[in-house]
């Protein structure tokens, strides 16, 4: 099939939303589909990192000053999305796609407009929701309540009903949207892991030397966006609590934007116990994880997002400390060290417990290395292909 992917974001950037868009598209391409991604004027060139024939089409650089790559709302995106509608409408008219696969709520709304404008073409729209629009904006301190929050909540419910088919990245988000959609039909398509990236890496000891990490300490690593809705505040407080009790633990924090985290490290004089790596390329991620001993994910379920980083940890044979969420249980099962209390103290307690038990670390890491094979992008792509076939 011809598939037009709408990505209202500066694709590609090294964060979860973009990883899902990229890996879904690569896996669908391997199944024989022809993929075009329409996106903003900025972002990394994926062809320099992976072999692919995916066609990346960008809007014109009218907003040449807009260079924001990190997650979060921005009023200028309204202008960018207007340009994106124009570009997507042109591509849909010229390329005659069978499917418009639209990511996140913005993309779904834009895809719906394109579909309605070209109604005689009978293009099918697949809505790929990555989380809750309103909850995410609240988490970024963009909405605090009142009329504006109510307006966005209404818009989110309206968008949740768009598309000939809907899918989400987490069971929690599926359950929420099922109650809202009139057809009550939503499928969960979990994130995957590209195990190819983790093959033929140097040994853990060699990688610790390469990244100048202490060989005699337990390396606890967080990778991903350093923004509030990823649970970064839980992580900061947990780091302080852990280091007070066990100075033989060393933290690696890799992601962006790093200014706030770097300031936190400096203010608390943690330079000998915490390393901030920013930026970290998604394609360099396997090496830093292979140099680590424990992966940590402090995200709670407030924004209904999945935690794709957990799969990256699993692919690197790491045990994972995280909160006791349905999506995390689905991924990890026995490979997780679950904090039942959603708090920094709960997170810190489980990091300390796991770091003190090398045998448990080994067993959980080995369990995850085997279990992650159940969560490949190929499996996700085949499920998406079934969804396409069901609506064509």
| pLDDT, tens only, 277-296 | 998 899 999 999 999 999 99
Alpha-carbon distance of 378 to 362, in angstroms, equals 28
| pLDDT, tens only, 104-147 | 999 999 999 999 999 999 999 999 999 888 777 776 666 666 77
pLDDT at 304 > cutoff 90 = no
pLDDT at 133 (0 to 100): 82
More confident residue, 149 or 364: 364
Residue 204 and residue 180 in one domain: no
pLDDT at 378 (0 to 100): 95
Q: Which of these ranges, 67-81, 95-109, 234-248, has the smallest mean pLDDT? A: 67-81
Residue 139 and residue 219 in one domain: no
288 alpha carbon, distance to own chain's centre: 18
pLDDT at 307 (0 to 100): 79
| Domains held by the chain: number | 2
pLDDT at 143 (0 to 100): 66
Tell me the torsion sign for CA atoms 289, 295, 298, 300: positive
E strand or H helix at 26: helix 16-30
Residue 386 and residue 301 in one domain: no
Mean pLDDT within 35-40: 98
Residue 52 and residue 100 in one domain: yes
pLDDT at 146 (0 to 100): 72
Mean pLDDT within 174-197: 93
| pLDDT, tens only, 338-365 | 999 999 999 999 999 999 999 999 999 9
| pLDDT, tens only, 245-269 | 999 999 999 998 899 999 999 999 9
DSSP letter for each residue of 270-313:
-TTTEEEE-S--TTTHHHHHHT-SEEEE---STT----HHHHHH
- Say what percent of the chain tops pLDDT 70: 97
Mean pLDDT within 193-217: 94
Residue 202 and residue 106 in one domain: no
pLDDT at 306 > cutoff 80 = no
More confident residue, 135 or 200: 200
Which residues, other chains included, contact 60 with Cβ-Cβ below 8 Å and sequence gap of 6+?
Answer: 41, 83
pLDDT at 2 > cutoff 90 = yes
Residue 213 and residue 330 in one domain: yes
Mean pLDDT within 228-234: 90
pLDDT at 71 (0 to 100): 78
Give residue 253's domain range. Answer: 196-374
Mean pLDDT within 95-106: 97
Structure tokens at 353: 């417990």
Residue 33 and residue 87 in one domain: yes
Residue 155 and residue 72 in one domain: yes
Residue 186 and residue 227 in one domain: no
Q: What is the mean pLDDT of the chain?
A: 93
Residue 239 and residue 100 in one domain: no
Residue 183 and residue 221 in one domain: no
Residue 342, domain CATH: 3.40.50.2000
Residue 290 and residue 186 in one domain: no
Q: What is the pTM of this model?
A: 0.92
Q: Give the residue carrying structure tokens 């807009």.
A: 66
């Amino acid at each position: 099939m011809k598939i037009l992917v709408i990505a209202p974001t500066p694709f590609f950037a090294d964060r979860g939303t973009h990883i899902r868009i990229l890996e879904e598209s690569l896996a669908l391409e391997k199944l024989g589909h022809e993929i075009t991604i329409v996106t903003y004027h900025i972002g990394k060139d994926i062809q320099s990192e992976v072999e692919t024939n995916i066609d990346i089409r960008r809007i014109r650089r009218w907003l040449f000053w807009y260079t924001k790559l990190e997650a979060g709302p921005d009023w200028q995106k309204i202008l960018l999305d207007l340009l994106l509608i124009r570009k997507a409408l042109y591509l849909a008219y010229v390329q005659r796609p069978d499917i418009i696969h639209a990511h996140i709520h913005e993309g779904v709304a834009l895809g719906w407009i394109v579909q309605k404008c070209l109604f005689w073409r009978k293009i099918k729209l697949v809505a790929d929701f990555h989380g809750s629009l309103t909850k995410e904006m609240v988490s970024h301190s963009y909405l605090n309540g009142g009329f504006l929050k109510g307006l966005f909540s209404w818009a989110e419910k309206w968008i949740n009903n768009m598309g000939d088919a809907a899918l989400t990245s987490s069971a929690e988000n599926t359950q929420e949207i099922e109650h809202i959609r009139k057809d009550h039909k939503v499928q969960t398509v979990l994130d995957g892991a590209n195990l190819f990236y983790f093959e033929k890496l140097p040994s853990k000891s060699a990688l610790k030397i390469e990244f100048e990490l202490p060989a005699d300490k337990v390396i606890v690593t967080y990778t991903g966006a350093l923004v509030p809705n990823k649970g970064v505040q839980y992580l900061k407080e947990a780091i302080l609590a852990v280091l007070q009790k066990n100075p033989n633990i060393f933290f690696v924090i890799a992601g962006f934007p790093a200014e706030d985290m770097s300031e936190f490290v400096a203010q608390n004089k943690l330079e000998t116990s915490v390393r901030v790596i920013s930026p970290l390329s998604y394609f360099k991620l396997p090496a830093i994880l292979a140099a680590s001993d424990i992966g940590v994910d402090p995200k709670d379920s407030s924004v209904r997002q999945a935690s794709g980083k957990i799969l990256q940890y699993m692919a690197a044979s790491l045990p994972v400390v995280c909160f006791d969420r349905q999506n995390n249980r689905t991924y990890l099962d026995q490979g997780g060290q679950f904090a039942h209390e959603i708090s920094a103290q709960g997170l810190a307690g489980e990091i300390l417990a796991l770091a003190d038990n090398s045998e448990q670390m080994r067993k959980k890491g080995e369990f995850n290395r085997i279990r992650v094979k159940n969560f490949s992008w190929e499996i996700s792509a085949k499920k998406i292909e079934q969804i396409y076939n069901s609506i064509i």
